[in-house]
Amino acid sequence: MTADAGTKIVVPPSKGSQKQSLLFWVEAARKVALGQSLVPFIAGVLLAIKHPVAGEWWTWPLVILTLIGVACAHLGINLFDDYFDYKKGDVERRQNLIEGGMRARSKKCWYIDGGQATLAQTRRVALTFLVVASVIGIVATLLRGPMIPVIVAIALILGLEYSGPPFRFSYHGLGELVVGIMFGPLVLIGAYVVTAGSYAPVALWAAVPTGLLVVNIVYAHAIMDFESDSDASRITLAVLFKSKKLALVFLIVITALAYLCLVAALIVGALPLGTLATFITLPVAIVFCRNMWLYVYKPEVAVTPRWWMGPFENWDRYVAAGMDWFMIRWLSARNLLLFFLVALAVSYLLG
C-alpha cells in the first residue's frame, strides 16, 4: 500500500478487523483534547444564560444535544486527522525519527500501529461521528436559524482539510490558525446562538481571546514537535519561524494578545468591568510561558504539576510512558484556556 507522497505504509495485522466499542474509539480519538472544544462551548452557553430565550424549557435539551454534536465533530475530525496522516506516511516517518534518538511525541495512531483497528475502520468511524454531528446541526438549524448551518459547514470543511487533501492546512503553516478558528469563534459563537437564539457582539469579544488560547494549545504542541515536524516535511506555524527561540517569542505574544483583547473589550464597553477578574488567571499564563521557555532553553530541567496549575489527569501514566515532558506543557495550555473561560464567564454573569 502506498501513501500520497509515495511512502510505503505497513498495513496492520488482521486482528484490526475486530469490532471495537464506542469507548475505544473515543479514547483513540484523543478524548483528552475534548476540552479544546467543550470548554469554549460551555463558556458560550454561560455568556448567553441571561438571555430570555435561555429560560425556555426546550432550550436546554437543545444545548445538551448540541454539546454532544460538538464532541462528535471533534472526535471525528481527530480520527480523520489520524487517517490522513497515517495514509500519507507521516506517522511512520515520525516513529523512525524517534527510534533514531529524536525526542518527540510518539503515541499518535497507536490503535492502528497496534493492529486494534484498520485505516478503513478509522475512516468509517470518523465519518459516523461527523454524520451524527451534522444531523444534530440540522436539528439546531431548524430551531435556531441560518447562522448554525454556516458555522457547521465552515467547521467541517476546516476540520477535514486540516490534514486532508487538497489543502492539508496543517502541512502549510495554517493548522494552528484553523484549530483556533474552529474551537474559538465557531464553537463559542455557535453555543451562544443555540442558547440565546440569536447573535450578540459579546460572543465575538469572548471568542477572539478564546481562539488565541486554543491556538496556543496546538502551537505549544508544534514547538515541542519542531524537529520531528521539520524532518517529516510538515510545515507547522512553529516550523515557519525556522527557530524554536523565535517560535517561543510568538507563543508569548499570542498569550499576551488574549489578555489585551479582554482589555480592548472593557475599553469599548463590550464586557462589564467585573470581567477584569479574568486577570486572576495571569499567573497560570506566566508559568505556562516559563515552562515553554525551559523547554526551549533548558530542556534538561524537569517540570512537575502543582495543584494550582489545574487538572493533570493520568499523570502517572504519562510519566511511565516518558511523555511527561510533553504533557505537562500541553495540559498547562489546555488548563489556561479552562481557567480563563471559567473566570470570564463567571465574572460576566456576576457583573
Q: Which residues pair with 2 in a beta bridge?
A: 8
pLDDT under 50 in the chain at which residues?
1-16, 100-101
Residue at 199 is within a domain: yes
- Among 290, 295, 322, 296, smallest CA distance to 309 is for 290
Domain limits for position 28: 14-350
> How many angstroms separate the Cα of 144 from the Cα of each of 50, 59, 204?
17, 10, 18
Residue 104 confidence (pLDDT): 56
Is 277 within the bounds of a domain?
yes
Confidence (pLDDT) at 336: 98
Residue 2's pLDDT is: 31
Question: 48 in a domain, yes or no?
Answer: yes
Rounded Cα distance between 251 and 223, Å, is 9
Asked if residue 334 is part of any domain, the answer here is yes
> Based on the structure, what is the number of domains in the chain?
1
DSSP string over 32-82? GGGHHHHHHHHHHHHHHTTSGGGGSTTHHHHHHHHHHHHHHHHHHHHHHHH
Task: Classify residue 279: in a domain, yes or no.
Answer: yes
User: How many CA atoms lie within 13 Å of 131's alpha carbon, on the beta-carbon side?
Assistant: 6
Per-residue model confidence (pLDDT) at position 1: 30
Q: Name the CA dihedral angle for 89, 90, 92, 95, rounded to a multiple of 10 degrees.
A: 170
Beta bridge partners of 8: 2
Q: What is the pLDDT of residue 4?
A: 33
Distance CA 265, CA 285 (A): 19
All three cell numbers of 33 = 483534547
| pLDDT number for residue 45 | 97
The answer to whether position 8 is within a domain reads: no
pTM score, whole prediction:
0.89
Is residue 28 domain-resident? yes
4 within some domain? no
pLDDT tens column, 35-76: 999 999 999 999 999 888 877 888 999 999 999 999 999 999
